[in-house]
Amino acid sequence: MPRWAPQLLGYAASAGCLLWVFHSSKIGELLPQLLQLEWQWVALGMALDLLVYVSHGWRWVLLYRPVERLPFWSTVQAIYVGLFANEVLPLRVGELIRCYLVAHWNDQLISVVFASAAIERVIDGFWMILSFIVAAQHLKGIPSWLTFFVRALEVVVVAAAALLAYAMIRKTHAHAIVRESRWAAVLRHVLEGLHTMGNWRTLARVMPVSFLYLLLQVLSYWALMKAFQLDLSIWDATAVLAIVRLGTVVPNAPGNIGLINVACVIALHNVFGVERNDAKDFSVVLWGALTLPLLAAGAIATALTGLNLGEIHHHARQRMHATETKPPEDLV
């Protein structure tokens, strides 16, 4: 596939979503809503969202500890650089960048760092689905297609968890499966990392921090709803967060713009009966409150590396290309 094709699809999807949400809206209609915001709640929501990624750094340090003791603040810095990349570049290349920085700064194999990121995503999927199921018990009128989508995602998460568990527990068998692969050396490093990190003691430390990671996101959404004077509970905020996360799971344009607005409108208008114009206006507030602090914090974190984002992205792609093309004896 040409390199430009995924980017074009991502931008097209975001543009289509923005057109669907705002095709009959006027910018002037949003200004009165912004003037009525309770800004102390906006500030709280922004602060909580920044803390989300500090807890993310804490979780990553705990998860990676069986392999190497990662410095806490440099790990948080790598996460914020990655978030900054996601806000200004398409297709969530920040995931590659944060893994590259942690690998580079700590002299680790990037394939093993990616293994830790894979475990993170499976854990996130577990908590996201669980939170939606729990929140759904307090809701009525959930669209059938949304329930179907969650069920499909459950299958994906369970399958991914099963594969990871097999790789962690039956390392010898997993090695045999990838023995003849062109990616054999890289995959062996991934399997070693999964086996080392995927012990019950490590997971027991990581799961509570993952719950904190989710809770801070829920509280951030709830604070922004309070700022917008929406009469919704924390359970409702949990459901909205889950729906927005589901709606933006596909890599797309920078900052999830478009997809986050559609998911927010569907959650508020279709599920909770919020008036459509209010739902559209809140989607703008949500996007701005979640994006602007990450742009500021990410820009500072990137500046502290001494490189610009383009240079970091270039080095990360070079590192991945070298990993793909090195012969096995150079990687073992």
Calculate the CA dihedral of residues 16, 18, 23, 28 and round it to 10 degrees.
Answer: -160
| Backbone CA torsion sign across 136, 263, 13, 253 | negative
Can you tell me the distance from the alpha carbon of 102 to that of 180, in angstroms, rounded to the nearest whole number?
29
Long-range contacts of 152-161 (CB under 8 A, 24+ apart): 153/125, 153/129, 153/246, 153/249, 154/129, 156/125, 157/122, 157/125, 157/126, 157/129, 160/118, 160/121, 160/122, 160/125, 161/122, 161/126
Q: Which whole number is the average pLDDT over 96-114?
A: 94
Q: Which whole number is the average pLDDT over 296-313?
A: 96
Tokens of 318: 């070079």
> Considering only 113-127, 182-196, 287-301, which range has the smallest mean pLDDT?
182-196
Predicted local confidence at residue 179, as pLDDT: 54
Answer with the residue of higher pLDDT: 180 or 4.
4
pLDDT band at 26; cut points 50, 70, 90: confident
Q: Which whole number is the average pLDDT over 283-288?
A: 96
pLDDT band at 311; cut points 50, 70, 90: very high
Looking up tokens 């996101």, which residue turns up? 217
pLDDT band at 186; cut points 50, 70, 90: low
Q: What are the pLDDT digits (tens) for 219-259?
A: 999 999 999 999 999 989 999 999 999 889 888 889 999 99
Indicate whether 158 pLDDT > 80. yes
Q: Which whole number is the average pLDDT over 192-201?
A: 75
Indicate whether 327 pLDDT > 50. no
> Considering only 41-55, 125-139, 281-295, which range has the smallest mean pLDDT?
125-139
> Considering only 154-163, 265-274, 304-313, which range has the smallest mean pLDDT?
154-163
Predicted local confidence at residue 148, as pLDDT: 81
Contacts of 44 (CB under 8 A, 6+ apart): 223
Q: What are the pLDDT digits (tens) for 39-81?
A: 999 999 999 999 999 999 999 999 999 999 999 999 999 999 9
With 0-12 / 13-18 / 19 or more C-beta atoms within 10 angstroms meaning exposed / middle / buried, residue 100 is buried
Indicate whether 288 pLDDT > 70. yes
Q: From its phi and psi, is residue 40 left (phi > 0), alpha (psi between -120 and 50) or beta?
A: alpha
Predicted local confidence at residue 185, as pLDDT: 55
Q: Which whole number is the average pLDDT over 172-181?
A: 52
Task: Give the residue extent of every domain in the chain.
Answer: 35-331
Can you tell me the distance from the alpha carbon of 150 to that of 128, in angstroms, rounded to the nearest whole number?
10
Indicate whether 211 pLDDT > 50. yes
The mean pLDDT of the chain is 87
Predicted local confidence at residue 325, as pLDDT: 57
Indicate whether 175 pLDDT > 60. no
Helical H runs in 65-182?
72-88, 94-105, 110-136, 144-169, 171-177
Q: Which whole number is the average pLDDT over 153-168?
A: 79
Indicate whether 328 pLDDT > 50. no
Q: Which whole number is the average pLDDT over 194-217?
A: 88
> Considering only 62-76, 94-108, 197-211, which range has the smallest mean pLDDT?
197-211
* % the chain with pLDDT above 70: 88
Indicate whether 281 pLDDT > 80. yes
